[in-house]
Every structure is written in C-alpha cells, then in structure tokens.
Amino acid sequence: MQSPSLAIHHRRYLLGILMAGMGSILFSGKAILVKLAFGYGTDAATLLALRMLMALPMFWAIYWWQARKQVMNPLSRMDLGKIVVLGFLGYFLSSYLDFLGLQYISVGLERIVLYLTPTVVLLISYFVLSKQITKLQWYALVLGYLGVMVVFIQDASSTGANAWLGMFLVFGAACAYAAYLIGSGEMVKRVGSVRLVVLASSASAILSTVQILIQNPHSVFEQSPPIYGLSLLNASFCTVIPMLMIMVAINRIGSPLVSQASILGPVSTIFMGYAFLNEPVTMMQIAGMGLVIGAMWLLVRNDAPIKKPSDLEKSDGLIRTESPTEI
C-alpha cells in the first residue's frame, strides 16, 4: 500500500507535469493570436504595446502578492540599469522581432525556431564565454538546425523569399532571448525571479509605449474591438497565466522535466495553426518538428526523471534555458 507521503509526492508530480504542459501550450497560443490580429490590419509595434500594457497590471498584482509574503532587498542603480537592459533584450526586442517574423512565416516554423533558444545559449556560451560543448550537445545542435531547415523548406515552397526574412527575424528573437537568459543568470540570485520578471516586463512596456508614440501616437486607441480582445487574451492567457503555471511546475517537478513537457508547445502550435489559421500540416513539417524535439531531448536526456521534493529547484524558471518558448 502506498504511503501518504509518497501519494502526495506523486500527485504533486502529476500536477506539475500537467501545469508545465498547459503552460507551454498557452505560451504557444500567442503566435495564433498575433496572426489573427494581423488579419484585422494592425502592425507588430501596436500589438506589442497593447500586449505589454495589458499584462503590466497583472504582473504588478503578482509582485504585490509576492511582496506580502517576503522582504524585498533594495535595488541599486546598477541593478536597475541591468534590469532595463534585460527587459529590452528579453521582453521588448525578442518579442518585437518575433511579431515581425510572424508576418512572413507559419506559426509552426516560428515556434520551432524559438524552441532552438537553448542551442543559441550553448553557442553564445561557447563562442563568447569560452565554455566547452560536449559531443552530445554538438549532435543536438546539428539535429535541431537540420529540423528547422526541413520545416523552412515547407514554408519557402508557399511564401517564397519572405520565408527567409521571417525565419531570420524569429531567429533574431531567439538570439535576443538567449542573451537575456545568460545575462539574467546571476541577476536572479540577487533580485529574485518574480521581481526580475515584473521589473523587466515593466521596462519592456515602457519601451514599447515609447516606440508606438514615436511611430504612431494614436495607434493604440484606434484599433478595432477584435484586436483589443485578442491582445487581452494574449496578455492574460498567453503571457501572465502560463508564466504562473511554469512557476508552479518548476517548484513541483524541477526545470529538466518542465523542459521536456515544453515539447507540447511546438506540437500544439502546428495543429492550432491548422485549426485556426488553415495552415497545412504536412509530413515534412512533422518530420522537421521531430528532429528539433529530438535535439532538445538530447540536451536534457541525462537529467533524472523524478526528483524528491527536497531536491526540487525553488526558482520559478522564468529565466532558465529550459524554458525556451517564453518570449
């Protein structure tokens, strides 16, 4: 007969897996909503500003709730400056490039390219930080980029030269987010993960507001009702809520298992693209997706499948390389 403590541990584990999978699927739904919004004639800068401004009060509500339970250390000007830079990279630049790229490629290719973010982190660590890459990691790199090219060929056959532009824009988004992941590694230890995300997203909201004020000051007030509705869904169900789910999941099961559950992200995106955008699902696309997923599996294959509750990480995982789809 199963002991009560073991039963509680397994329920905690199953709930963590469920929340990690659902969080990944909800994050992936962002691309669907952006594509639908483009159909109403809006632009990437407006969509980004609306998303961040609508998400901002939700983030600060989370911050207020967290601050009630623990004492926050004061931040120096240097800390605030670094957070602004991280917000620019991880929440403004990466999201803006991603939104721009979605104008030219399918949501399936976009999600698969973003799923390569951990490999970009490895390459930056190797070429910039002089860290070693194992033979297994090199295999994962080759396999992952081969998978992207397979899916790219599918997109290029229908969109032509625009597929190149779209893929490079989204890959730029992945690179910007990878730089954010590396830069925030030490910062999260001193600032705290929840506070870092709130402050970095606040910086992004300010930057996106400044951008739209320069580009078209009236844009955020002149959109059709469906665009506001889609932006609200994007801010809540595809940004804030999945971040909370990832927080809970990593606290329960650890980031390696959350990373494996995130496989549901690109898989669900391809089929959501078919259901909501009439994007085709082909064998070539599925094959490419399989290669990329296999590459990500190679990167985490040596991690233990289940950890004891006492061994689980206490980070919320919002700034870890195991969460590549959180742009």
Helix (H, G, I), strand (E, B) or coil at 13: helix
> Does the pLDDT at position 29 exceed 70?
yes
Q: pLDDT by residue (tens digit) across 63-101?
A: 898 888 777 788 899 999 999 999 999 999 999 999 999
Residue 315, pLDDT > 70, answer no
- With 90 as the cut, is the pLDDT of residue 257 above it? no
Whether the CB-CB separation of 262 and 86 falls below 8 Å is answered with no
Neighbouring residues of 326: CB distance < 8 A, sequence distance ≥ 6 = 27, 177, 242, 243, 246, 318
CB count in 10 Å sphere of residue 250: 29
Give me the mean pLDDT over the 132-161 stretch: 88
Q: State the distance between the two ends of the chain, measured CA to CA, in whole angstroms.
A: 44
Q: What is the mean pLDDT of residues 311-323?
A: 36
Give the closest residue to 235 by CA, choosing from 246, 225, 227, 247. Answer: 227
Query: What does the domain layout of the chain look like in residue ranges?
Result: 23-311
Helix-strand-coil split of the chain, %, nearest 5 = 80, 0, 20
Mean pLDDT of the chain: 86
Average confidence (pLDDT) over 275-293:
91
Percentage of the chain beyond pLDDT 90 is 55
For residues 297 and 4, the model is more confident at: 297
Q: Is the model's pLDDT at 314 over the cut of 60? A: no
How far is Cα 200 from Cα 55, in angstroms, rounded to an integer? 12
Question: Minimal CA–CA distance to 219: which of 41, 39, 96, 100?
Answer: 41
Q: Is the pLDDT of residue 36 over 80?
A: yes
